[in-house]
Structure 1
């Protein structure tokens, strides 16, 4: 593991594999850290396939810092990814990510299209109800706590427990916020998840998708997946100039199935634990 300062934030990251191998950045979803079950395991399989894999904690995730100055949490994370790639002097990178990781990868690639050779994305969050749920999940409990008990109540939320345990500075950063300003920021960040008929992915415009001319493998979401709707994945595929749509290596009920898994890093359990099943398809597509 290592730490590096990017855009005023200290980010926690780790490389797997030969430093001379081509770089691939793997980004998870939720606010899960880089050592969540399934991520290092998929990373190791991609290393075996010839890549040098970068695992990283996004701002507000794992052991990385957080700030509240960006227009949205997604913008903060994608700009952190662009800055991390620049700071590590990675060239001709491959991006892969699922759920929020797919959104962050798309947004980052739109900001540096000339430095991304190929991409793979799956579990793309979208649809009116799903996005409304994200606004509440990421911002609603924050607003509720801050309105009732100020920032002291916010730092007691279960949603910050893991990050504070890994990076105690997160607690200090949160306590330093003005509660009213924090509520206003969370309202703005929540609004950033609003569904639009103009784009399937919040934070991406049709013009942004048009910039992504590199080969991209888009996994079609399950019909039963209400968090990452099938329509969203198909809409993204249509907007991408050079997308190949593929069926994932699991059944239609996969998201509903893994959502019942316990999150237990030590026992290597969690909703990403089956991501290593993607490795053969990823390697077939992403390798030269």
Structure 2
């Protein structure tokens, strides 16, 4: 495990594989920690890639980070990621992400094309129901809690309580925020999760998506995936010129089964176990993308 200070906060990360491998960064869904992609990262490292897995600010062991300099939390994560890649001294990197990680990866490719060798995505969230659900899950509960009980009450929410347990610095970072400041930032970030015409991806305009020039591959969503609609998948494909859609390496209803089990048991989302099956697709994409591809 390594760490570096970026934008005034500590970011925790690991690098797997050989130094001379093709550089790849993995970003998971939700606010999940880097450990959810360590198994996939190990498979890619065994295949000869150099793999970065990281804890985004507000997830895992990294410091929490709130600020109105970024229009969304995903933009903050993309900014952090590009600085992390430059800190490592890497050149253009294959940027890989699922669900919320796909959103971060898209924004990274959009705003920082100089560090994006290629873009590999799956479980892309979009559409009315998923977008509203994300806004509620990431933002609304925190605003409501802050209004009722201040920052102290927010710190007691399960996600943030775990961030403090894993990283005691986060207690002081929360205590340095006023309720008004936290609510103001959260309201700004909430605006991305209002379904808006011309925004297939929350917080990203379609005309911006159309400017992405990095080679892009998208694993097709399941036909009945309510959280990552098939329409969103193909809309992103249509907007990113030259992108390709590949068939999923898991069963058609794999996400639905995993998510339903999570809702039933209340346990962790075992849909993350699907990620390892994407390893052969990512290896092939990385080897055929960017400088020296096919050499």
- In the alignment, is residue 33 of structure 1 matched against residue 66 of structure 2? no
Instruction: Measure how far apart 1:151 and its partner are.
Output: 1.1
Q: Identify unmatched segments of 5+ residues in structure 2.
A: 289-295
Partner of 1:61: 59
Partner of 2:164: 164
Partner of 2:147: 147
- Contact residue 99 and residue 228 of structure 1 kept, 8 A: yes
- Contact residue 119 and residue 286 of structure 1 kept, 8 A: no
Alignment of 1:89-100 (within 5 A): 89-100=89-100
Larger relative contact order (C-alpha < 8 A, sep ≥ 6)?
1
Instruction: Measure how far apart 1:185 and its partner are.
Output: 1.9
- Contact residue 103 and residue 201 of structure 1 kept, 8 A: yes
Structure 1 segments of 4+ aligned residues over 6 angstroms from their partners: 262-265
In 2, Cα distance between equivalents of 1:231 and 1:102: 15
Q: Identify unmatched segments of 5+ residues in structure 1.
A: none
Any idea what SS the aligned residue of 1:271 has?
helix
In 1, Cα distance between equivalents of 2:114 and 2:143: 39
In 1, Cα distance between equivalents of 2:77 and 2:100: 10
Cα separation, partners in 2 of 1:87 and 1:207, compared to 1, 3 Å: farther
Instruction: Measure how far apart 1:263 and its partner are.
Output: 8.3
- Contact residue 263 and residue 270 of structure 1 kept, 8 A: no
- Contact residue 155 and residue 175 of structure 1 kept, 8 A: no
Instruction: Measure how far apart 1:111 and its partner are.
Output: 1.6
Instruction: Measure how far apart 1:147 and its partner are.
Output: 1.4
- Contact residue 122 and residue 221 of structure 1 kept, 8 A: yes
Deviation by residue 1:224-264 (Cα, 9 ceiling, x = unmatched): 11111111110000000121111211223222222224787
Partner of 2:202: 202
- Contact residue 150 and residue 179 of structure 2 kept, 8 A: yes
Any idea what SS the aligned residue of 1:35 has?
helix
Using structure 2 for the length normalisation, give the TM-score: 0.91
- Contact residue 192 and residue 203 of structure 1 kept, 8 A: yes
Q: Kindly tell me the number of residue pairs found equivalent between the two proteins.
A: 283
In 2, Cα distance between equivalents of 1:111 and 1:84: 15
Partner of 1:4: 4
Deviation by residue 1:73-93 (Cα, 9 ceiling, x = unmatched): 111111111111111111021
Any idea what SS the aligned residue of 2:117 has?
strand
In 1, Cα distance between equivalents of 2:143 and 2:38: 33
Instruction: Measure how far apart 1:286 and its partner are.
Output: 2.1
Partner of 1:225: 225
Partner of 2:293: none
- In the alignment, is residue 124 of structure 1 matched against residue 139 of structure 2? no
In 2, Cα distance between equivalents of 1:284 and 1:93: 15
In 1, Cα distance between equivalents of 2:187 and 2:126: 19
Any idea what SS the aligned residue of 2:34 has?
coil
- Contact residue 200 and residue 206 of structure 2 kept, 8 A: no
Any idea what SS the aligned residue of 2:80 has?
helix
Partner of 1:179: 179
- In the alignment, is residue 108 of structure 1 matched against residue 89 of structure 2? no
- Larger % of helix: which? 2
